[in-house]
Chain A
């Protein structure tokens, strides 16, 4: 079954990022296709590679990157939500004249159309948030 996942909450806030990750992992293990994980609102903060949690804590950002690498996941970050919160890839940083970029491996920045498309293409869309 094609499943889409929507993440609306930032990491280390309540539990939505963790629930979304565990759900995504379990769905892959069950043989389902994760069509896309879309990060919206504060959920875009899941994609900054500059997070450095304490060593005995889980690293939510790199955990997503590793899962994406292992299973060729499409992790999409909403561009408007990302710009508001200072999340950018190299191209966007150049375009905006910024001196740094911070998008983590395995994520890509795109528009809300990607969420709409996932809603159309997927058999199920599961929302995690606050």
Chain B
């Protein structure tokens, strides 16, 4: 399962809910304002670090760059472009957008 989260964890609790419910081996892609969940230094970083034990975290590069956050990505989070987004959708048997 690919989970797609598009809101900042500092604005909504969708990423928190997603990480709580995502099963081991699934993937989480952070897009739009969701990219703030992949950045270092905030109070949410620890939750993402802990989640990485069970799920793979991806973040959309163009959305990071648009917000000036490209050099603040948490170690171990994978940066993808739109082509990589498409590949993630294709690789997983289904996808869920946390709106």
Residue positions of A touching B, CB distance < 8 A:
1, 3, 8, 14-16, 19, 22-23, 25-27, 29-30, 32, 124-130
- In the complex, chain A residues whose CB is within 8 Å of the CB of B83: 26, 29-30
Report the stretch among B16-24, B45-53, B68-76, B91-99 that lies at the interface.
B91-99
Across chains A and B, which 4 residue pairs bring their CB atoms closest together, nearest first? A26-B82, A127-B97, A15-B32, A129-B99
| Cβ–Cβ contact B94 & A124, under 8 A | yes
> Which residue of chain A has its CB nearest to the CB of B85?
A23
Of B6, B81, B85, the contact of A16 (CB 8 Å cutoff): B6
Could you show 27 A-B contacts with beta carbons less than 8 Å apart?
A: A1-B90, A3-B89, A14-B6, A14-B33, A15-B6, A15-B32, A15-B63, A16-B6, A19-B31, A19-B32, A22-B62, A23-B82, A23-B85, A26-B82, A26-B85, A27-B89, A29-B83, A30-B86, A32-B86, A32-B90, A125-B95, A126-B95, A126-B97, A127-B4, A127-B99, A128-B97, A129-B97
Q: Looking at chain A's contact residues, is the secondary structure mostly helix, strand, loop, or mixed?
A: mixed
A15 to B82 alpha-carbon distance, docked (Å): 14
Interface size on B, residues (CB 8 A): 19
* With A128-B97, A129-B99: A16-B32 Cβ-Cβ less than 8 Å: yes
* With A15-B32, A19-B31: A27-B86 Cβ-Cβ less than 8 Å: yes
A19 to B81 alpha-carbon distance, docked (Å): 11
